[in-house]
Amino acid sequence: MNKSLIIILLLSLTINAFAQNEIDALRYSLTNYEGTARFTGLGGAFGSIGSDVSAVGINPASMGRFSKNEFSFTLQSGSNSATSTLYSNTSAASSGNLNIPNVGFVGTHVFKKREHIGWQSVQFGITYNRLNNFNEKIRIEGETPNSYSLVFANWADGTNEDDLVFNNNYDSYLAYDTWLINPTTAGNNTYVSAINGGTNTLKTIERKGNMSSTELALSGNYMNKLYIGGSIGIPNLRYEEMSQHVENVANDTINDLDNFTFTQTLKTTGSGFNFKIGFVALPTDWFRFGVALQTPTTFRLSDRWQNGLVTNFDDGNEYEASSDPGSYVYRLKTPLKLTGSASFVLLKRAVLSADYELLDYSKSRLSSATYSTAPYDFNPENEAINTLYTKASTLRIGAEVKLTKLIMARAGIQIKDNPLNEVSTKLVNYSVGAGYRINKFYLDIAYVMGTSSENYYLYDPELIQSSPINKESNRAVVTLGFRY
């Protein structure tokens, strides 16, 4: 099996018997900024433009561009769809949600003697921004030549029947307890599946939750040419996933099994902290640039999970087994983040801006929580992180044009590299927007569409083909703001 196949397989097995693995490390290291409608309309390319509360999450120095107090509130309606293919059979699923991607306040103090001291103003801000949205549904359906039960049998091989409950409580023991797999002979440590042939398979995955961050920021404006800032970020996350794998037997089986359903649930909650520092410089009236550095985020996470399996036989018998509820508290350290930004002001009527963000995802690290009652070194998982992941960048480009004194039009694009070694697929978001500003009031709207693709394996790729999944997300965003 080549490296890229191993990578895809790891991403496919979204809920392992025990969580806290390299997949979790990647999921919570990725960010897909959601913010104000103006921020969204420009593709998030706001690191050097400033004067937007969402930009604080990229470069806190951009807050130095505020000359007045400001409060804004954003509402977002979104939908996600996924189309999968399994052995030429196509399936689709979709989900929608309404959320608040941004709320922010910036207070500005203008110095009275600014002509003499150089410092023009200082700003304090508190903002809430969504960093990622986990909501989605996936459906994979079709006829397969093999069965997931073969994987349970392979995992059980080498383990005595009496020891399965201790060694394989979350998978193979459930299959054994419901007669989905059986020992070849009494007392033997090898197992055989109750399914002999292909199946009609249906896999559904439902994910919920989000990752957000509250930023406490401070910035300063020196001579309207240099802006510096720093912030404390307090990210929070909630992730829930339930998957259901159903197989209906297509051919005769050893024990006349009709169907089985394997269910897995996972819930992760946690919070963390990080620090950001940055600057924005205006060497000329038409050009500005900035750099920001975000320290690694240290999360304290709590996982809870449970698996269950139900089998139904032709004689009417039904067998059900559930694993013990599992739980574990651990720490995750995500990579350092470096962002460079530049923007150009054209004839005082248009702005063209770009941000370039770089992370080395191989630097994520898992570890036991402080004073853990069940310490674990996570060496295999951290080695997998180091091997499977690599550096990846995000490019955000946006433009804003002043159509009239009060009305602006915007457009943007965001291109995010895949952090997996030897995988070249990208996440791309396209956005458009408009704004209306008069005196102390402004109203902004935006629409963004995102596309991505991945290969998903229902189980061991030696037994089944991959299922290509094409995903599309759509979001409508509206922001109401006040300056005073």
User: How far, in Å, CA of 252 to CA of 246, rounded?
Assistant: 17
Nearest to 156 by CA among 194, 184, 191: 191
CB within 8 A of 188, min separation 6: which ones? none
Average pLDDT over residues 90-114: 95
Q: pLDDT band for position 477 (50/70/90)?
A: very high
Nearest to 412 by CA among 443, 358, 448: 448
Q: pLDDT band for position 3 (50/70/90)?
A: very low
The DSSP string of 121-153 is EEEEEEEEEEEEE--EEEEEEEEESS-THHHHH
At 240-272, the pLDDT tens digits run 999 999 999 976 555 589 999 999 999 999 999
Tokens 């509250």 map to which residue? 214
pLDDT for the residue 142 = 96
Q: pLDDT band for position 13 (50/70/90)?
A: very low
DSSP class of 399? E
Burial of 311 (0-12, 13-18, 19+ CB in 10 A): buried
Contact 21, 384 (CB under 8 A): yes
Q: pLDDT band for position 97 (50/70/90)?
A: very high
User: How far, in Å, CA of 463 to CA of 12, rounded?
Assistant: 14
At 408-448, the pLDDT tens digits run 999 999 999 999 987 778 899 999 999 999 989 999 999 99
pLDDT for the residue 250 = 74
Q: pLDDT band for position 91 (50/70/90)?
A: very high
Which domains, from first to last, does the chain contain?
3-147+195-483 (2.40.160.60)
Q: pLDDT band for position 11 (50/70/90)?
A: very low
Helix (H) or strand (E) holding 271: strand 257-281
| Strand ranges for 403-440 from DSSP E | 407-416, 427-438
pLDDT for the residue 19 = 61
Q: pLDDT band for position 4 (50/70/90)?
A: very low
pLDDT for the residue 115 = 83
Strand partners, 150: none
pLDDT for the residue 255 = 55
Sequence letter at residue 258 = D
Question: What is the per-residue burial (b if ≥16 Cβ within 10 Å, else e) of 390-418?
Answer: bebebbbbbbbebeeeeebebbbbbebbb
Contact 233, 58 (CB under 8 A): no
pLDDT for the residue 7 = 42
Share of the chain above pLDDT 90, in %: 82
Q: pLDDT band for position 373 (50/70/90)?
A: confident
Q: pLDDT band for position 2 (50/70/90)?
A: very low
User: How far, in Å, CA of 388 to CA of 150, rounded?
Assistant: 27
User: How far, in Å, CA of 109 to CA of 370, rounded?
Assistant: 41
User: How far, in Å, CA of 202 to CA of 191, rounded?
Assistant: 24
Sign of CA dihedral 239, 365, 306, 250: positive
Average pLDDT over residues 115-128: 94
DSSP class of 34? B
